[in-house]
Structure 1
């Protein structure tokens, strides 16, 4: 793997691939975080409409596949962690892929560590891989990155669920909602990627090579598995949120019920004593035992109400 400039562009890396039967060299060229003006020049150099390349800079662009002349243009969405621990969050961002007769070009608007690892691994192989083989390896790496990210999301889900059981803090609910949003984005991006790969399998560029066709089909299977996992995790998070909201509401209702019951118990004993605290003529107000009688009677009535509430599990 060689770091180099490609006609004024920061190519990031270039990997020589296996030459064609005539001996002409092929390569995998990566363009890292290009500016819009650079994409315009790249489109002219590759003979591709710059408008298609500009879609890779739109972080909301959906997966798509275009065919322009002998160039196959794919736009896929790949997972990326957008914030670091202790509160990680995930997103999906576009990755542009151009497959031409002599080269494979990837346009990376973000730094993708798994692609860097793939390029290093391919560069260390004893033999040069074929162009379509490199494309299949790239698609499999994207699928594996989705699976790896989903395993990380699952670990974070387990951590948040444990924290919710212990504290039921609002921050934990917000973390769970953030994970649910990430899984929803994962599922939507995976559906788009799967549609693109299904169309790619029908194109002559892979249909004529059984070995590469099987590799792309394996990547498609991994993406379908990742989509099922994302949808399952999202549904599980929805059920967990509903369950914890129900538990929280039930806990609030129980606390209000207990506070109300204690208020009734205490109000009975206070009512009799406060009644004789008024500055008006009252029966037996001059009786020397009226105060202890009122206090004792109030406590007896309060104790009876407490026993009644206790038997009915209101306190």
Structure 2
């Protein structure tokens, strides 16, 4: 899908044809759309396809008539029938006349620009536009990290109950999301550092503060990801300890029950032996069976009381 936008009289408008100062959006483009864009605007097809590969690394490449910036952006993806987080590449291509963005899917990072919800946004101010995209990207990381933090608090509450397999799977998915975020934020930081040195992208004094904000926001996201990863690792260790402790408690209870039940079993086994009746206590008594039952129950009760005092139940 291809969309074309341009700032006219301070407002963003969608157009049918691209012209100087336009922003061309390619969201999960088809092979035909990539070929037509490459031929029309003299862009290498490989550079247009690069952001469509989920494993593509973040980088900056300077060509003769354009510059390619590849960064990782956060996305929501469904895993195990629940919404979790991952990352996909976003390509930003800056030519002399226009700016192009290429992504495997539509993303909230760019939706705010399309809807005109970003202040001081102009499609023809390419350097500022790049920095605004990168700032929005870092802000989305922070937003999703806060959501993960809230989910971890809910998981912590569940730890006080009886942990189940579902909680373990959710913790694993949270760890995966944090690993994706941490890795992507680190490579994005390298891209930001290189962006300061690329001469093909003009630097304007009025954008200096914005660039500093982008770097600061990205570093803050990295620190938050590290903190939440540490918290989640501690939670996983606690989870394992709770599960192990619960298993130990169950095993202790079952062992105690086995000991208590072994008393009547031993008594009944003795009375079940093929011996002379005269040698077996209470064998000639009319209430012998009831007496043996009561003695077995009494012995079991004494053993149960002893185990209870030693906190074995």
Tell me the TM-score range normalised by the shorter chain.
0.7 to 0.9
**Structure 2, gaps ≥5 residues long:** 10-18
Q: Which residue of 2 aligns with 1:11?
A: 2
Q: Distance in 1 between matches of 2:233 and 2:48?
A: 37
Q: Which residue of 2 aligns with 1:133?
A: 128
Q: Which residue of 1 aligns with 2:152?
A: 157
CA offset at residue 84 of structure 1? 9.1
Q: Which residue of 1 aligns with 2:305?
A: 307
CA offset at residue 179 of structure 1? 1.3
Deviation digits for residues 147-170 of structure 1, max 9, x if unmatched?
Answer: 111122222222333334334121
CA offset at residue 191 of structure 1? 0.8
* 1:105 aligns with one of 87, 100, 105: 100
**2:252 matched to 1:257?**
yes
Q: Is the 8 Å Cα contact of residues 17 and 130 (structure 1) preserved in structure 2?
A: no
CA offset at residue 305 of structure 1? 2.0
Where 1:110 maps in the other structure, the secondary structure is coil
Aligned residues: 301
Question: Measured at CA, do residues 201 and 115 of structure 1 come closer, stay the same or move farther in structure 2, by a change above 3 Å?
Answer: same
Question: Measured at CA, do residues 128 and 273 of structure 1 come closer, stay the same or move farther in structure 2, by a change above 3 Å?
Answer: closer
CA offset at residue 204 of structure 1? 2.6
Q: Which residue of 1 aligns with 2:27?
A: 32
Q: Distance in 2 between matches of 1:63 and 1:127?
A: 25
Q: Which residue of 2 aligns with 1:202?
A: 197
Output the TM-score relative to the length of structure 2. Answer: 0.86
CA offset at residue 290 of structure 1? 4.8
**Please, which moves more after superposition, 95-104 or 80-89?**
80-89
CA offset at residue 303 of structure 1? 2.9
**2:111 matched to 1:116?**
yes
Q: Is the 8 Å Cα contact of residues 22 and 124 (structure 2) preserved in structure 1?
A: no
**Structure 1, gaps ≥5 residues long:** 1-9, 19-23
Deviation digits for residues 255-275 of structure 1, max 9, x if unmatched?
Answer: 111111111112112311331
* 1:171 aligns with one of 166, 169, 177: 166
Aligned Cα RMSD in Å? 2.7
Deviation digits for residues 131-188 of structure 1, max 9, x if unmatched?
Answer: 2111211111111111111122222222333334334121121111111101101111
**2:208 matched to 1:213?**
yes
Output the TM-score relative to the length of structure 1. Answer: 0.85
* 1:294 aligns with one of 280, 284, 292: 292
Q: Is the 8 Å Cα contact of residues 27 and 104 (structure 1) preserved in structure 2?
A: yes
Q: Is the 8 Å Cα contact of residues 62 and 200 (structure 2) preserved in structure 1?
A: no
Where 1:15 maps in the other structure, the secondary structure is strand
